[in-house]
Amino acid sequence: MDSMTLNKPALQETIDQVAVAFSRLKGIKEGLAGADADGGIQFDEWDWEVGVGLYGFLRRALAAGDRNAVDDLVAWYGRQIDRGLPPRQINSTAPMLPLAILIDHVDRPDFRTLVEDWADWLVHQLPKTEDGGFQHVVKERLNDGELWDDTLFMAALFLARAGVACGRRDWIDEAVYQFMVHARYLSDPVTGLWYHGWTFNGRHNFARAFWARGNAWITVAIPELFELVPDLQEKDKRFLSNVLASQVRSLKRLQRPDGMFHTLLDDPTSPLETSATAGIAYGILRGIDAGILDASNRVHAERALAAVLSQVDDEGVVQGVSDGTPMGHDLDFYRRIPNLPTPYGQALTMLLLTEVLLEGEEGA
């Protein structure tokens, strides 16, 4: 399917197919665009993969003025809260980002209380590394003294938006600081690419891997911060704009002619990786929307979009997605990660396709 000739009905059909496949991979009954026949959102698990999907769902609902879709989200969050949320850590914070936006559109004091309490927990109770970075605590391990690049999307964006919604400039400042401290230790000054992680226990970047999906989270997170915090300070915008532009310059150079990226961005012998390709394309489009990136970068996003669409099979399953990737201590670790269908591959693809659909609706 050619991204240049993709029409709105065809794109919506593809989004629906990808959403159905997402539900299947999560072990949930089928439905279109994450909703069942009665309009209720099916994703019945509170995790980061669902958080990514719900963020795209909410963005489209608000842009389209779709009150029914907003109500579906309200009902989903209500059910999750009623049954009890999982322990707090970096990845379980991801579904809080849509909620921090939603509280501006619904009268739910319980939602606002949860946002305030969770943001306060991030600032005061989440373990911190040296220099006050958010330690990448996940359900499997504490990752003592470690900074990971996906923390910014999973947790810092929520804190920034919570600060806007609750009038807490200190939370916004803390979120921006997390971008700064992560950039200090993870961003390579030579290429602008980001390493997967950093540890203060030994003070190194592990395998010094330019992991593609990790870089995609950065390409996404910086423009999202600009939209989520409309009054971001000029000095912060200037710094982060340059960080993103530097990264994208290298990403463009490393993109294959067919639009794909490799699991290790600078290693053409490593496997091709669709979820990173989708995230990078989405981030570039959002960067253009935010005025951070020049419109000439759109051709690279469109090339990536075409590549991603070529990886969506007839059942809506996104192929060529690398399996879950903890921190690697050598580059072969990343080369050996198998490709298989995953919920986050579906979610990142949904996010990209929803953005393209929104652009088409705005330009209609």
Retrieve residue 58's tokens. 């909410």
Q: Which residue has the tokens 């003025």?
A: 65
**2 inside domain:** no
**218 inside domain:** yes
- Give the CATH number of the domain where residue 207 resides: 1.50.10.10
Q: How far is CA 73 from CA 6, 82, 163, 184, 188, in A?
A: 28, 14, 21, 36, 39
Q: pLDDT tens, position by position, for the chain (364 residues)?
A: 344 456 889 999 999 999 888 888 876 544 334 444 344 566 778 999 999 989 988 998 998 899 999 999 999 999 999 999 999 999 999 999 999 999 999 999 999 999 999 999 999 999 999 999 999 999 989 999 999 999 999 999 999 999 999 999 999 999 999 999 999 999 999 999 999 999 999 999 999 999 999 999 999 999 999 999 999 999 999 999 999 999 999 999 999 999 999 999 999 999 999 999 999 999 999 999 999 999 999 999 999 999 999 999 999 999 999 999 999 999 999 999 999 999 999 999 999 999 999 887 765 5
pLDDT at 170: 98
**Contact, 47 vs 80, CB < 8 A?**
no
**187 inside domain:** yes
**Contact, 245 vs 185, CB < 8 A?**
no
pLDDT at 362: 67
pLDDT at 4: 43
- CB-neighbour burial class of residue 4 (10 A; exposed 0-12, middle 13-18, buried 19+): exposed
**184 inside domain:** yes
pLDDT at 24: 85
pLDDT at 364: 54
Tally of domains in the chain: 1
pLDDT at 359: 86
Q: How far apart are CA 222 and CA 264, in angstroms?
A: 21
**290 inside domain:** yes
Give backbone dihedrals phi and psi of 65, rounded to 5 degrees, phi first. 65, 35
**3 inside domain:** no
Q: How far is CA 146 from CA 134, 138, 208, 218, in A?
A: 8, 11, 14, 17
**1 inside domain:** no
pLDDT at 134: 98
Q: Is the pTM of this model over 0.85?
A: yes
pLDDT at 57: 86
Give the domain range for residue 341: 8-363
